[in-house]
Structure 1
């Protein structure tokens, strides 16, 4: 089968959607499929083509204010020229999905929106509001829609009136379950992710003043870094907050395994990949009851908080450290690709039946 993936960014760019597209693309190649990725992250160098682990990658230049949206009209023409059997577009919150829908013609079309409903950035939020009518059209153009969480499926039904199939993000489970814990002089709490205001790391920093027995390790980089450092100084906990920056994939499992608790207080998530990684490493979690993180509150080993105030976060950390994580529902990437292939074959079969 010839499969075309369309996504705003692709590795070595990092992020949840980037990881998702890479994992399914490389595994589809291993299963004998011909996979091409069209992405809008070429940067100032302009168009370039390469091959990464068997995947054909074609990078186009885009306009990306604030590193977001990736306006890239040339993707529509690139999709129109393809001879793919299936076109699979990702990430409602960026324009490549819309341009894929414009260029799809009569090809089979799958959409994974990774939809979280909004943005904490006011400019981005206005763009998303203006984009809603055409974005809704693009999602409804799909022959199949895939949600990565139950919460996302409900939101897609409410906002776009589509019935999505839930296929969660996958995980290299063994890599995390077999990790050797990082050893440090003091126990620590961990948070992982891009340093944006909506990710809520500032709330974990503020709670630290009431958790004197712990350090806080912050893995990730992003534009909110300087403000987080300022907050740590303001709260007089800067000596117990360590900003690790980007952490290599090989080091991350040990960081999870060594933590007494993992904390994520993000306002918007379509799934919550870092929660799955922490649980797989045997680390209990504190999650904000917002977006798809709500789904994790029913999983053993997770404590949900409705408020991000310290008087809610502090006791939740104490409660979490007494829990044993449940990893029985975590899917490996091979299982995810089984389900994705089933979606592809299903719409191809429906097409053949219509023609017959």
Structure 2
């Protein structure tokens, strides 16, 4: 199993099939979720697609229409092929592509585009339909896995008693679809190991989702305190020690644990940036714990304002136990924040104990509160911890991830051409 995060040489061009000259690599990315959807997989796919165009790759994207009406539009250099869709019963912000008529559309699209590779971001509707069509057209398929059953159960209102059986079925289905593709990636070595533990027998490469280190960065040295004060006022936050969480307020994020931890501190406030089905529950819990005045809900934060939210905080906290990487944690680290995270799934990859933060046992808000107060109490050590967070985040440069994916597409395409030539 490969787990390398090392950069690879750019691979945005390949020999033209006719043998004369070179042309841009062309990739067709398929996904069930893409902006304006609000979730980690959608944001990753958007960063990937738009970033690849800047690396010389011609990118086409297949995804559900946000309005239901099929159409084609170009945004940020990416040609979006939007499929007819219907509302999803699982999540208000996600729509489902309607399978009727899609196969014929995919056949025509693949015939016209002749992509060097197809890259699917899930194994649900769009991913499996596109992978099947690509195989029939001799186009190699790359797949990135962002899936864990725990991230869907709450949206599907799955009874607890059925979840173990549903999880086994979901992993079997994933193995069946991904077992036919030419190259599988997932964001971290832990996520790759999880696939192996669930019976996936093929090679898996860990390729970080990547982080934009220019966009997410600490305030200039010497202006940290003033900038923090200014931004807190802008977002309507009191000037007090602040722990921050950015992400969906849904079951698997375990925001209740963060609220309970705040109640066990003396003067810390919790800022929650995001929206989700559990916001009302978190508000009720804050009132029940007597800390309603110290739990602040920012709701949805616009993309361009997100870096400023991190600059408001003293420490980033995350309690989720189903994180395959956690882009929000990487963004916080790139912004120079110490981290206190649950010791679960891929989060330990992002914490070096005592150097950029601390881990705590999931389900123990007392331990979480203790770690937060340890970070906040070390006034002189916090800048050092934040600097180490930034250093760790620099190992996940978005440019390196984009280079690697561009290289994977060319390798997959060359392998497919070699197989075709060998079979003639």
TM-score, normalised with respect to structure 2:
0.77
Q: Deviations over 1:154-177 (max 9, x none)?
A: 011222222211110111112221
Partner Cα distance (1:235, 1:87) in 2: 50
Question: Are 1:9 and 2:7 counterparts?
Answer: no
Unmatched tracts of structure 2, length 5 or more: 1-24, 220-226, 233-237
CA gap of 1:320–1:72, structure 2 versus 1, over 3 A, is: farther
Question: Are 1:135 and 2:179 counterparts?
Answer: no
Partner-residue secondary structure (3-state), 1:49: strand
CA gap of 1:26–1:69, structure 2 versus 1, over 3 A, is: closer
Conservation of the 8 A alpha-carbon contact between 1:115 and 1:156: no
Conservation of the 8 A alpha-carbon contact between 2:55 and 2:402: no
1:1-356 map, 5 Å: 1-43=25-67, 45-60=68-83, 61-62=85-86, 64-67=88-91, 70=96, 72-74=98-100, 75-81=102-108, 82=110, 83-92=114-123, 94-104=124-134, 105=136, 106-119=138-151, 120-121=153-154, 123=157, 125=163, 129-159=168-198, 160-179=200-219, 180-181=227-228, 182-183=231-232, 184-298=238-352, 300-321=355-376, 322=378, 323=382, 324-325=385-386, 326=388, 327-330=390-393, 331-354=396-419, 355-356=421-422
Partner Cα distance (2:148, 2:169) in 1: 16
CA gap of 1:72–1:134, structure 2 versus 1, over 3 A, is: farther
Partner-residue secondary structure (3-state), 1:114: coil
Conservation of the 8 A alpha-carbon contact between 1:79 and 1:100: yes
Unmatched tracts of structure 1, length 5 or more: none
Partner-residue secondary structure (3-state), 1:251: helix
Which structure has more RCO (C-alpha within 8 Å, separation ≥ 6)? 2
Considering only aligned residues, what root-mean-square deviation do their CA atoms show, in Å?
Answer: 2.3
- Post-superposition offset of 1:178: 4.2
- Post-superposition offset of 1:309: 2.2
TM-score, normalised with respect to structure 1:
0.91
- Post-superposition offset of 1:248: 1.8
- Post-superposition offset of 1:205: 0.6
- Post-superposition offset of 1:304: 1.2
Q: Deviations over 1:254-305 (max 9, x none)?
A: 2212312111101211111111111111111111122222322347413111
